[in-house]
Amino acid sequence: MEVNFEKLINYALRSGADEAEIFYVNKISKMVKSEGENIHPKASVSTDISIRVSIGKKVGSVFTTTMDEDLLRDEVHRAISIARVSEEDKYWNGMPDPEKPIHKHSSFSEEIASLAIDRLISDLDRLVDYARRIDRDIKPFESYLATTIYTKKVYNSRGMNIDDKGSSMEFVIMMKGKDAGREVSIYDYDADTKPLTRREELIEDLARRVKALYKAKKLESPLKVPIIFKPKPFSELLYFSFIRAIHANNVQEGRSPLKNKIDTIIADKGLDIIDDGTIPWALGTSIYDDEGIPRRKTYIISGGKLKGFIHNTYTARREGVSSTGNASRHGMMVTIAHSNILLQGKSRELDKLISGIDRGIFADGSLLNIHSSNYVTGEINGVIYEAYTIENGTISDPLMPVALSGSIYDAFKNISLGKNAVQTAYRFILPPVLVDGLTVA
């Protein structure tokens, strides 16, 4: 059913709203999941609509899944009723103004859109069989292959009228193995906006890592030594200890240690951290954010100095700056989210980073419990499950899981980058990273 959203905007204005906005997103998801010998297919189509209205400095928002125009008019009245009884928001300065797009890099893949559920079933069946044949002592015990296609539209009473679309594909596999000393189970994943092409390589590497951990030893005592993180674990570390500290709403409300630190050195002078929603085919790339503001490139840290934060329209106008194109919708709430985060600076090959360490730790795989880190303080709290010692410039013995602690800002001050950045599911594009100042135990 097609809805005339512009007509609905005008209806909101006639019904008493000073301004009105409608956000629409349609998602088509397909997933096939393997558990044991069975493969379970699942497909879904969802439609979400958020309506936001303002009366003076009072704002009301509602969320619905209906596409019935009569019911949508009822939702408009409900949003207006909420606005009328809401308290005034002294920082409210209206809906976003339309802007011309900065780039035209859609992340929509026709190849992904055309993948039928039967094709996903056969692909996953083949991949699971491939995993079983690598080593008879290492078994895949769970995996899934999924695709998502989305279409979004944003309309408002200031003339906003945009549409955007994108795609993604994800493969996750969990494998386990056992020898006389230890049972090991770990997982890995790949995600992209285009069809995945390196799944067999990922499976082979995962099987190798399972076997390597059989002979893991216990770390004898806590160490504060250099740690080299592969891209995936370091992206998890950044996501839970740092990223929300650069959301402008958290800075403005005192939930970030970075408040009042613009132009302050907070990292190694060779480090740049960038939010860039314009990179062709990256997971966080779109033409517009969820308010219809064009995606762009924003320096968070440049030359070690804190240069800015990521904004939606509300937080930007509160500070008298422009939105960075980082609005995100969660139900009826307009929040902030990063697009693609890049770490850049002088870099060396991974083997050069390793060879320069007399004693250290090498972190692979995914971190456990890292979600208990605290972005309000920058405190890190997690577990490196796939840890190895580095001795005299060489990766050596595997370790039993080690606790990881410290401050992300201490790590930033002693950081070196490797080469060959890769994309992770957390929408980070980064190379292996060497940091000093964290503790393992």
Instruction: Report the candidate in 47, 45, 84 with the shortest Cα–Cα distance to residue 63.
Output: 47
What stretch of H or E contains 83?
Answer: helix 69-85
| Span 118-142, average pLDDT | 96
User: pLDDT confidence of 297, banded at 50, 70, 90?
Assistant: very high
pLDDT class for 36, splitting at 50, 70, 90? Answer: confident
pLDDT of residue 423: 97
By DSSP bridging, strand 415-418 and strand 347-348 are: parallel
Count other Cβ atoms within 10 Å, centred on residue 13. Answer: 14
pLDDT range class, residue 339, cuts 50, 70, 90? very high
DSSP 8-state class, residue 372: G
Structural domains of the chain in order of their starting residue, each with its CATH number: 5-210 (3.30.2290.10), 217-239+345-440 (no CATH), 260-340 (no CATH)
pLDDT at 217: 95
Torsion of CA 210, 215, 218, 220, to 10 degrees: -130
Give residue 190's pLDDT band: very low, low, confident or very high (50, 70, 90).
very high
Residue-wise pLDDT for 230-241, tens only, equals 999 999 999 999
Amino acid 53: pLDDT:
98
Helix (H, G, I), strand (E, B) or coil at 162: strand
Q: In terms of C-beta density within 10 A (0-12 exposed, 13-18 middle, 19 or more buried), how is residue 44 classed?
A: exposed
Q: Is the dihedral of CA 5, 11, 12, 18 positive or negative?
A: positive
Q: What is the pLDDT of residue 37?
A: 83
**Cα radius of gyration rounded to whole Å, the chain:** 24
Q: Is the pLDDT of residue 188 over 90?
A: yes
Which pLDDT value is given to residue 115? Answer: 97
Helix axes 5-14, 69-85, angle to 10 degrees: 40
Beta bridge partners of 130: none
Strand partners, 25: 48, 152
Residue 86 is which amino acid? S
Inform me whether the pLDDT recorded for 282 exceeds 90. Answer: yes
pLDDT score, position 22 = 98
Two tokens, residue 130: 């491939």
What is the rounded CA–CA span in Å between residue 439 and residue 416?
17
pLDDT tier, 429 (very low <50, low <70, confident <90, very high otherwise): very high
Find out whether 143 and 38 touch, Cβ atoms under 8 Å. Answer: no
- Gap between the Cα atoms of 373 and 427, Å rounded: 19
pLDDT at 47: 97
Beta carbons within 8 Å of 261's beta carbon, 6+ residues apart: 306
CB 295 within 8 A of CB 278: yes
Going from the C-alpha of 140 to that of each of 134, 137, 187, the distances in angstroms are 10, 10, 9
Q: What is the pTM of this model?
A: 0.96
- CA atoms of 345 and 243, how far apart (whole Å): 19
Cα gap 160→51, rounded to integer Å: 14
**Taking a C-beta distance cutoff of 8 angstroms, is the pair 69, 85 a contact?**
no
Residue 133 structure tokens: 């044949």
Torsion of CA 271, 273, 274, 280, to 10 degrees: 80
